[in-house]
Structure formats: structure tokens, C-alpha cells
């Protein structure tokens, strides 16, 4: 890992990434793609050391409070966060200035900050988004080898449910010929419904691959799934979107089950919910855009 002083921390849509790079080792990670122009090894995580200072300055300039989001490109709860506490520091600022918060993570370390998450959620809205890809624990250890498995993430979702923190699940990616089965889909959805998630985000049953990401993914397929790389090449070529042959049936099941349970499942509906700032003290709601 290494430090970097950056010039800004909040995007135009109020998102931030406190670290750059990742050590989770997920074999399919799009953030490895060369289009993001990372100038260091992916596992050599860049720590944006002045992020809290920049965040506080940005929050002070805001005319209206809104949702602040993190985790879209880099998990803010990497193992190094235990020591660095950059995410916690920024959470304290978000709480202090009365903004809402939404985070995407695969790590149970998010529970370390449960006190702050609850404090934010009492005043505005705090949403924890968790990625789930497979109910097979052994397969999970192959696909996402250096982060807690699905069972632990489901446990986190249940704890957050009991603590009154709303949650959303990212059902992504569903890898063709690997975890694109009805049994896997139903298993993940059952964990979502048990945790009473607010929504499930799914853009389709498949995976996206591009330069940088594709090479790493194929290397891992050779290590863990002999012959699978050739099957991908023959089926998808250099396509960006690699859709499961089972997509039509799986998406039908996904929509029917979510609708039956009253769970938000269209991307537009889920993102509208995530982006909407709530002032619970005044009852006011404001959209991010």
C-alpha cells in the first residue's frame, strides 16, 4: 500500500473512493480494467490520505444535504481499513454534518462502524449494500478468495436488519457456466428475503469483461476451471457483455420472486431509493440529482 495526496474526493454525483485498488482478489473484478488508468499494481492499494480533509471541505460547501456514497470502485472496508480507519473518519464527518450515507461492500468489517451507521440512520438514511454471487461456500472462496464468504455476508445482512439499517444486495456477477443455475439464484434470493432487504440490483445474468479484467479472469479460469477459458472464448469472443445462456429463465425467476416479496428489483427503482435523501426530523425527502 502507499499514500497519495489527491486534489478532490467527491464526484459530481456525490460518490467517493477512499482507496484505489483492492486486495479481495475477486477473479471477475471490473476495476482491474485498463480503461480506469490505474498507474500502480491493483493489489498495491492507494490510500487517499487527505480524503477526510477534502470531504469536510466539500460537505461545508454543500447548499443542501444529500446522500454520500462509497464503494463503487473500491471496497472501503479492505483489511487495511482496520488500521487506517479512513472510512470511519469520513463516516464521522458525514454524521456530524447531517448527510445520508450509502456504502457498497463485501466485508463484515462494516459492522465495526455500526454505531455510526445507526446514528446516521436515525437522522437521515444509511444504506448498506452487499454483493452476493454464490451460495456455494467453496465456490465463493474461489471467486472471492480474500474476503468473507456469502454465509458471513448473509449474517451481516441479518444483523443490519435487526438493527434497523436498510440494505440492498448486488446480485452480480452471475458467471456463465459457473454459478448461473436456478438453484444458486433461488439460494441467494432466499438469503435476501430472510434479511428483508429493501432491494436487489441485477443488470442481467452474466459478467462483463474488458481489457485488463479479461486477462486476469482467464488466468484464474485456467487455475480453477480447466477448459473453461476456451469455452468462454468460443462462446463470447471479445464481447464486453457475456450473458448466461440461462438468462431468460433466470431473469424471469428473479423478477417474479422479488415482486412476490415486495422487494425493489428494477435498477431504476433501487437507484431512486438509494439516491433519495431523507430528513427524518422534518419528514423532507430530496433527490440527489
Q: How far apart are the first and last CA of the chain?
A: 35
Radius of gyration (C-alpha) of the chain in whole angstroms: 19
DSSP 8-state symbol, 45: P
- The per-residue pLDDT for 283 is 60
What pairs with residue 286 in β-bridges? 277
Residue 225 DSSP SS3: coil
From the list 241, 240, 212, the residue with the least C-alpha distance to 35 is 212
- What CA–CA distance (Å, rounded) separates 285 from 66? 10
Q: What is the pLDDT along the chain (289 residues), one digit of tens a residue?
A: 898 889 999 999 999 999 999 999 999 999 999 998 888 899 999 999 999 999 999 999 999 999 999 998 899 999 999 999 999 999 999 999 999 999 999 999 999 999 999 999 999 999 999 999 999 999 999 999 999 999 999 999 999 999 999 999 999 999 999 999 999 999 999 999 999 999 999 999 999 999 999 999 999 999 999 999 999 999 999 999 999 999 999 999 999 999 999 999 999 999 999 999 999 877 655 554 4
Task: Please report, for the chain, the start and end positions of each structural domain, with discontinuous segments joined by +.
Answer: 2-286
- The per-residue pLDDT for 284 is 59
DSSP 8-state symbol, 99: -
- The per-residue pLDDT for 286 is 55
DSSP, residue by residue, 71-110 = -SSS-TT-TTHHHH-HHHHHHHHHHHTT-EEEEEES-GGG
- What CA–CA distance (Å, rounded) separates 193 from 200? 10
From the list 202, 208, 176, 204, the residue with the least C-alpha distance to 189 is 202
- The per-residue pLDDT for 168 is 98
- What CA–CA distance (Å, rounded) separates 90 from 99? 11
CATH no., domain 2-286: 3.20.20.70
Q: Are 170 and 104 in contact (CB under 8 A)?
A: yes
- The per-residue pLDDT for 50 is 96
- What CA–CA distance (Å, rounded) separates 246 from 179? 11
- The per-residue pLDDT for 288 is 47
Amino acid at each position: 500500500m502507499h499514500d497519495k495526496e489527491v486534489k478532490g474526493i467527491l464526484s459530481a454525483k456525490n460518490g467517493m473512493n477512499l482507496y484505489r485498488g483492492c486486495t479481495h482478489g475477486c477473479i471477475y473484478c471490473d476495476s482491474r480494467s485498463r480503461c480506469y488508468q490505474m498507474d500502480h499494481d491493483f493489489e498495491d492499494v492507494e490510500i487517499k490520505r487527505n480524503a477526510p480533509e477534502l470531504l469536510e471541505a466539500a460537505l461545508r460547501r454543500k447548499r443542501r444535504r444529500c446522500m454520500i456514497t462509497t464503494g463503487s470502485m473500491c471496497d472501503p472496508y479492505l483489511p487495511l481499513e482496520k488500521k487506517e480507519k479512513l472510512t470511519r473518519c469520513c463516516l464521522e464527518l458525514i454524521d456530524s454534518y447531517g448527510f445520508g450515507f450509502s456504502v457498497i461492500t463485501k466485508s463484515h468489517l462494516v459492522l465495526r462502524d455500526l454505531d455510526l451507521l445507526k446514528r446516521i440512520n436515525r437522522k437521515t438514511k444509511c444504506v448498506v449494500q452487499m454483493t452476493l454471487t454464490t451460495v456455494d461456500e467453496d465456490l465463493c472462496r474461489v471467486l472471492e478468495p480474500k474476503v468473507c464468504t456469502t454465509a458471513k455476508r448473509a449474517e451481516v445482512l441479518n444483523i443490519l436488519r435487526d438493527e434497523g439499517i436498510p440494505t440492498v444486495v448486488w446480485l452480480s456477477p452471475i458467471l456463465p457456466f459457473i454459478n448461473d443455475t436456478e438453484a444458486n439464484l433461488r439460494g441467494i434470493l432466499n438469503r435476501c428475503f430472510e434479511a428483508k432487504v429493501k432491494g436487489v440490483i441485477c443488470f442481467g445474468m452474466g459478467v462483463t469483461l474488458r481489457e485488463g479484467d479479461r486477462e486476469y479472469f482467464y488466468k484464474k479460469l485456467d487455475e480453477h476451471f480447466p477448459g473453461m477459458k476456451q469455452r468462454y472464448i468460443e462462446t463470447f469472443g471479445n464481447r464486453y457483455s457475456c450473458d448466461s445462456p440461462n438468462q431468460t429463465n433466470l431473469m424471469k425467476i428473479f423478477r417474479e420472486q422479488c415482486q412476490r416479496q415486495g422487494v425493489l428489483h428494477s435498477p431504476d427503482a433501487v437507484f431512486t431509493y438509494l439516491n433519495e435523501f431523507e430528513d427524518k426530523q422534518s419528514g423532507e425527502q430530496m433527490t440527489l440529482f
